[in-house]
A = this chain, B = another copy of it.
């Protein structure tokens, strides 16, 4: 696992563990809902993860982008497909997405070098 991936995953895991200790029932339900939403259904996991990625990118949430890039990688999204997701995100969200796109490319490259 590369450095960017490891840093992201270890902080995420540590804080999610802490949240499961400290949060109330509704917050735990919200997290549970977050998990089931991306499960295989009428749409397959790969499509859902690309949907999660494009939504995260136009909303410019770097950590959400990293999370869904990891899931897209696991689901077998290829290089040309990823470029088309990135293009839709840049076009819909505009040039303010570009700095997030740069960081996404760096993270995606690291995932693919692993």
A→B interface (CB under 8 Å)? 11-12, 15-16, 18-19, 22-24, 26-27, 29-31, 33-34, 36-38, 41-43, 47-48, 50-52, 54-56, 58-64, 78-81, 83-99, 101-103, 105-106, 109
- Chain A binding surface, main DSSP class: helix
Give CA–CA (A88, B56) in the complex, Å.
11
Q: A22-B79, A33-B33 are in contact. List 14 more A-B contacts (CB 8 A).
A: A12-B102, A15-B105, A19-B102, A27-B83, A30-B33, A37-B87, A42-B84, A55-B55, A56-B96, A59-B93, A61-B96, A63-B102, A64-B96, A94-B94
The answer to whether A59 touches B58, judged by C-beta atoms less than 8 angstroms apart, is yes
